[in-house]
Amino acid sequence: MASDEYDFLFKGTLLDHKPLPLRLKPPVISFPRSPTPVAFAPRGDRPIVLIGDSGVGKSNLLSRFTRNEFNMDSKSTIGVEFATRSIQVDSKTIKAQIWDTAGQERYRAITSAYYRGAVGALLVYDISKHITYENVTRWLKELRDHADSNIVIMLVGNKSDLRHLRAVTTDEAKAFAAENHLSFIETSALDASNVELAFQNILTEIYRIVSSKVLPENEHGGSIPDRGIPLSDQPKNDQGGGKCC
């Protein structure tokens, strides 16, 4: 690839400051705003991914959690977008990177490249549209085909504010989650119901699992596994702090 063509594709993106060798260029050059796939991300930048059908509210879940915002006119995600937020877990400040993936079929081959190395996933469906719940099975298979075997997965029934239009019962979704070893919660990005709790629960579970695997090796002089700690932790300041920053 010519130098000027490379500059056109990557200028202003995460790849701009550190060009990759030609053989390692990620398969996302059509989406300059997208973050680097996990296989090429720096050690420690292991994300949580939001997956599910288009229109189930993934982008609004992300914006509600990271910025406490809700956009009634939210457009479908193209490629992958991401945001970060810090929370308190076990007296540590944990900075989480969360990736919002496109739900449209035409982007599936590209977004699946972001599953590998992700430490957690929120698999989202719309409680008022049964087809989005039916498609959860396909999303789950695709995720497990591409992601690490120990990824933490939470099934999320979003738009719980549409209870009068409910098409998927809570018991039905709970049974599916239990059968497939997933945690489960219902949320509403519109009224913020359980959004904080959903992210807090999955991030806490991930942090504790990874910490329990990393710390014993360090105590015996071993090295940190190649995956690294997926969530950056920073000492809590002397004055304490709020739930997030």
Q: What is the pLDDT of residue 132?
A: 97
Q: List per-residue pLDDT tens for the chain, 245 residues long.
A: 554 544 444 444 444 444 444 444 444 333 334 444 443 344 445 789 999 998 999 999 999 999 999 887 655 555 567 788 888 888 888 888 888 876 445 445 555 677 887 899 999 999 999 999 999 999 999 999 989 888 999 999 999 999 999 999 999 999 999 999 999 999 999 999 999 999 999 999 998 888 887 544 444 444 333 333 345 555 444 444 443 33
Q: What is the pLDDT of residue 189?
A: 96
Q: What is the pLDDT of residue 117?
A: 76
Q: What is the pLDDT of residue 124?
A: 97
Q: pTM to 2 decimals?
A: 0.69
Which long-range CB contacts under 8 A does 215-224 form with residues at least 24 apart? none
Q: What is the pLDDT of residue 72?
A: 77
For 161, residues 6+ apart whose C-beta sits below 8 A from its C-beta are 188, 190, 191, 193
Q: Which CATH class is domain 48-213?
A: alpha beta
As beta bridge partners, residue 166 has none
Q: What is the rounded CA–CA span in Å between residue 103 and residue 54?
A: 4
Q: What is the pLDDT of residue 102?
A: 61
